[in-house]
Structure formats: C-alpha cells, structure tokens
Amino acid sequence: MSKPLEGIKIIDFTHVQAGPACTQMLAWFGADVIKVERPGSGDVTRSQLRDIKDADALYFTMLNSNKRSITLDTKTAQGKEVLTKLIKEADVLVENFGPGALDRMGFSWAHINELNPGMIVASVKGFSDGHHYEDLKVYENVAQCAGGAASTTGWWDGPPTVSAAALGDSNTGMHLAIGILTAIIGRQKTGKGQKVAVSMQDAVLNLCRVKMRDQQRLDRVGYLEEYPQYPHGEFTDVVPRGGNAGGGGQPGWVLKCKGWETDPNAYIYFTIQGHAWAPICKALGKEEWINDPAYNTAEARQDKIFDIFAFIEDWLKDKTKYEAVDILRKFDIPCAPVLSMKELAECPSLRKSGSIVEVEHKQRGTYLTVGSPIKFSDLKVEITGSPLLGEHTDEILAQLGYTPEQIAEMHAAKAV
Ligand code: CAO
C-alpha cells in the first residue's frame, strides 16, 4: 500500500529532540526523510546517555526511526554543493539549529527560495523572529519556563516546576509537522514554497492556553474556584500553581490507593464530573450525599472538596489502583491508574495497538520505542530502526548523480 506522504522528500537538518520528533513522524507516514549529519559525530544524541558502549543511544534511536542518514560537512565547498543539489530536488528542509546558523552556513531562506521556489523551509527556534530573546539558544526546560508551563505547574508553596512531558521539544515538533503539511497543501494550490517557523515558547504557550484563560478570570474576579486555594487560601494577581487540581471545570485529584506507602505509583486520578455525582456516591456507598443540598451541586461541594477526596482515599485504602478503576469504570467515572514507565512498556494494550513497539537495530539488537499515537483506518504505520551514522551516504550521493570515483574523493576529503 502506498503511504500518504510517499514522494515527499525531506532534508532533515535537525538534531536533539524538537526537530527530529517532527521529521520522524513525517517519515512514519511515508516521506523520504534524509537526515544530514556532521561527519564523525552526527547528531549529539547518538552518544548522549548511552546505555550500550559505542552503540547509538536510545535518545537517538527513539527519535530517528524510518529515516536515512547521510554525513555531510556543510561548511566545506563539496558539502555545500551536495546540499545545494539536495535542496534543488527536495520538497522540505527542516532545521532546528541555533539562531542564524543556517544563514552563516550560506543557506538563507532567500538563497534556498532562489534554488528551489517550491521548497518549504521549516524551523524550530527557542523564540519567534523579532522577539527580544530571538538570539537565545533553548532547550526543553528553558522553553517550559518561558512558555508559562513552569510558573503554573507544581505546588503553591514550592518553586516553579517543569513537566516530564516534552512540551518544549516534541510538542514543538508536532506543531511544526502541522505547519509543514499545511504548507505542502498550500503549495499544491500556489506552486510556491514558504517558510514555516514554530518557536518553542509559542508551542508551550499554546498548550498553556487554559492558564491564560485563568489569568483573565483572575484579573476580573480575583479568585479561581477550581484551584485548591479556593475558598480557604489566598490568591495574588498571578495564576498560582495548582498541584494536581483538574484544570477544567471538573475537580480532580491524585488519590492514594492500597500500597502507596511502598509503591510510588499506587495512586489513581479521580475526577468529580458534575453530572456523575449520583454514580460517584453510589460507587462510594454514600448514597445519602446524592440529594443532600450540602453536597449535590458543584458549588456546595467546593469548600469541602478536600474532605470528599479524603473520604474517597479512605474508600481506596483496601483497593489497588487497578481494582479501584475496575469498580469506578462501571459507574462511568473518569479516572485512571497512575502508570509507571515500566507498566506502560509492558502494557499488552499498548503493544497491541502499536503505541509501544519493538524494532530491530543493527547495533543494539531490538529496542523498545513509542509508535505512532495517530491511528489511521487506511495506513498501518510501520516503525523501522534508526539509521547508523552515514549509513545511506553513498546511496544518496549516487542518487544525486555522483560517480563512485567522486564519492570516494569526497570521503577522502572528509566532506562526507
Ligand atoms: N556540517 C557542518 N556544520 C554543521 C553541520 C554539518 N552537517 N550541522 C551543524 N553544523 C554547525 C552549524 O552550522 C552551527 O555552526 P555555527 O554556530 O558555527 O554557525 C553548529 O554546527 C551548531 O549549531 P547549534 O547552535 O545548533 O548547536 P549547539 O549545540 O550550540 O546548540 C541548541 C544546540 C539545541 C541549543 C540550538 O541548536 C538551538 O537553540 N536550536 C533551536 C531550538 C531547539 O530546537 N532547541 C531544542 C533542542 S531539543 O532539546
């Protein structure tokens, strides 16, 4: 079966996580993604946090599957010539170098556009063009701090806290993928390429949209009723950190289950959905709360929400997180066990759906990776191992029309 992005050629000039996550997803869906790496070392993640001596690290293999790799020193004349040829025949160039690096290399947007007017140039930077921090280099947690995630995450009496989820890196890559696909569709109508840019700060902020909602509510009324600070605590003029509170209109909290004293993940997340109040009371054996005016509206429950959570924790104390969810699911209560990475890695449902997959790698044997979270009725996403450094250099050069002699000369000159 032909894949939807087959025929789209992407120059993958990305490194670390934000860019590679974007191009990996496009490769899964059929694009020919050519990862361009510096000879000798390649993407820094090949050697970062290694668990097997001299083998590509999982950091690299889990972000670069389904790609081809060419090594190219793009600061040499020969390297520039090869990159120029690639640009002339590719559809998209994706990069996430530090600000100005592509220009310094001699491949400004204007020059690329001249070489190939249909080319889409997609970039990740820490901050957007023209921003007063546009010159800054940025990593994940820097972006989480600059994008509003850190100031609104964690405990009210603790410092700003970053999330383990890659809101700055992979999330920015996903935004960029949407931008690239949009530009490809745009090009079908106009024939013209364009520049697509996503800043990590903007991508984080986009996911913190509800916190910007809360800032405006706070400005207007002076409190936020779904936060643990309401009604007993104090609000200042900025959105506070809300611990594990539900961010929407449904109060929720992480609650202890049987075994929490020794198992750091023996918890469930429990949501008190307004219209599920009666089933919640039935599940907890507290039917007298169903029509009690002190409990039967969200407003009435607000000042005793933590007493209610304490009651539920008492109900949970003789149930494992799995047993608890098995009971609560029968009452249609939104909840889930808190799952560790080990539990996720071993989860039969995730294996069955292809969300966790084992793939072959030439150096590592098999390794586990996260498969496509997007499922299609007409596309089976197959994950293949990441390429070794320069594994496809000769093949790609030959496809560009270089003879074996010219390729050997480039190797000798260390241009590839
Ligand atoms: N051949 C020759 N030179 C190459 C090359 C190649 N194949 N590939 C890269 N280079 C050069 C670049 O041209 C650049 O050179 P100059 O600085 O001399 O112009 C240099 O290598 C690396 O540039 P860099 O600034 O991208 O690298 P860094 O390690 O100092 O910074 C990072 C890394 C991630 C902080 C920076 O790239 C960045 O801010 N990127 C944008 C934001 C981003 O994506 N961050 C997320 C990363 S995931 O956590």
What are the structure tokens assigned to 67, written together? 């790609």
Which atom of ligand 1 approaches the CA of 138 most closely?
A: 39
| Mean pLDDT, rounded, of the chain | 97
3-state SS, the chain, equals CCCCCCCCEEEEECCCCHHHHHHHHHHHCCCEEEEEECCCCCCHHHCCCCCCCCCCCHHHHCCCCCCEEEECCCCCHHHHHHHHHHHHHCCEEEECCCCCHHHHHCCCHHHHHHHCCCCEEEEEECCCCCCCCCCCCCCHHHHHHHCCCHHHCCCCCCCCCCCCCCCCCHHHHHHHHHHHHHHHHHHHHHCCCCEEEEEHHHHHHHHCHHHHHHHHHHHHHCCCCCCCCCCCCCCCCCCCCCCCCCCCCCCEEEEECCCCCCCCCCEEEEECCHHHHHHHHHHHCCHHHCCCCCCCCHHHHHCCHHHHHHHHHHHHCCCCHHHHHHHHHHHCCCEEECCCHHHHHHCHHHHHHCCEEEEEECCCEEEEEECCCCCCCCCCCCCCCCCCCCCCHHHHHHHCCCCHHHHHHHHHCCCC
In the prediction, which pLDDT does 248 show?
79
Looking at the chain, the whole-number percentage of residues with pLDDT higher than 90 is: 97
Residue type, 210: V
**Mean pLDDT (whole number) for 24-39:** 98
In the prediction, which pLDDT does 146 show?
98
In the prediction, which pLDDT does 182 show?
98
Q: pLDDT per residue over 44-98, tens digit each?
A: 999 999 999 999 999 999 999 999 999 999 999 999 999 999 999 999 999 999 9
Tell me which residue of 295, 332, 315, 350 sits closest to 324, measured CA to CA: 315
Distance 212 CA to ligand 1 centre (A): 32
pLDDT band at residue 359 under the 50/70/90 scheme: very high
In the prediction, which pLDDT does 246 show?
87
Which atom of ligand 1 approaches the CA of 100 most closely?
A: 19
Catalytic residue annotation: 169
In the prediction, which pLDDT does 192 show?
98
In the prediction, which pLDDT does 136 show?
97
**Mean pLDDT (whole number) for 248-264:** 95
In the prediction, which pLDDT does 247 show?
78
Does the beta carbon of 36 lie inside 6 Å of ligand 1? yes
What distance in Å separates the CA atoms of residue 371 and residue 355, rounded to the nearest whole number?
4
Q: pLDDT per residue over 134-146, tens digit each?
A: 999 999 999 999 9
Does the beta carbon of 214 lie inside 6 Å of ligand 1? no
**Mean pLDDT (whole number) for 370-393:** 97
In the prediction, which pLDDT does 128 show?
98
Which atom of ligand 1 approaches the CA of 102 most closely?
A: 13
Looking at the chain, the whole-number percentage of residues with pLDDT higher than 70 is: 100
Distance 337 CA to ligand 1 centre (A): 40
Does the beta carbon of 143 lie inside 6 Å of ligand 1? no
Does the beta carbon of 17 lie inside 6 Å of ligand 1? yes
- Among 137, 141, 176, residue to substitute to test ligand 1 (most atoms within 8 Å of Cβ): 137
Does the beta carbon of 16 lie inside 6 Å of ligand 1? yes
pLDDT band at residue 269 under the 50/70/90 scheme: very high
pLDDT band at residue 1 under the 50/70/90 scheme: low
In the prediction, which pLDDT does 232 show?
87
Q: At what angle do helices 277-284 and 305-316 cross, to 10 degrees?
A: 40
pLDDT at 193 over 70: yes
Q: pLDDT per residue over 89-120, tens digit each?
A: 999 999 999 999 999 999 999 999 999 999 99
